[in-house]
């Protein structure tokens, strides 16, 4: 069994977070340490520790996360200017919270992806 993280508490509304969207499959909330004017995390309500743990059963769930991200980008008014979706996996990517999450980042020119 994977260990719960702080994100499980956010999903259950046990600790405060600026939740911008929630349904039975996913929760989206503003990052506590935003790297751009819009920085929102989209997470599955089900605990999946890393992208390595995603299975074929999660196909719909992951697709739903992307659709939710695109809808939120529109709400934030950055769908046309552009944004970046990032999922970090393990140490070299700097994953800090072991409950998969998609960063939705935008609202400024983000420059090159690496370096």
Based on the shown chain and the rule CB under 6 A, indicate whether residue 22 belongs to the binding site for ligand 5GP: no
What are the CA-CA distances from residue 2 to residues 50, 53, 84 (Å)?
10, 10, 28
- Report the alpha-carbon distance of residue 69 to residue 44 in Å, rounded: 12
Is 13 catalytic? The answer is no
Q: What is the CA radius of gyration of the chain?
A: 14
Based on the shown chain and the rule CB under 6 A, indicate whether residue 3 belongs to the binding site for ligand 5GP: no
Based on the shown chain and the rule CB under 6 A, indicate whether residue 17 belongs to the binding site for ligand 5GP: yes
User: Binding ligand 5GP by CB under 6 A: which of 3, 56, 96, 114?
Assistant: 96
For the record, the structure tokens of 61 come out as 């769930």
Give the residues lining the site for ligand 5GP (CB under 6 A): 6, 17, 29, 31-33, 41, 88, 94-97
């Amino acid at each position: 069994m994977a260990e719960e993280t702080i994100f499980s508490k956010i999903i259950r509304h046990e600790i405060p977070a600026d939740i911008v969207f929630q349904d039975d499959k996913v929760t989206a909330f503003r990052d506590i340490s935003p790297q751009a004017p819009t920085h929102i995390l989209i997470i599955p309500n089900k605990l999946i520790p890393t992208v390595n743990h995603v299975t074929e059963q999660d196909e719909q769930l992951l697709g739903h996360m992307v659709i939710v991200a695109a809808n939120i980008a529109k709400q934030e008014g950055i769908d046309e200017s552009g944004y970046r979706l990032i999922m970090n996996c393990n140490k070299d990517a700097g994953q800090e919270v072991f409950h998969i999450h998609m960063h939705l980042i935008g609202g400024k020119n983000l420059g090159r992806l690496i370096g």
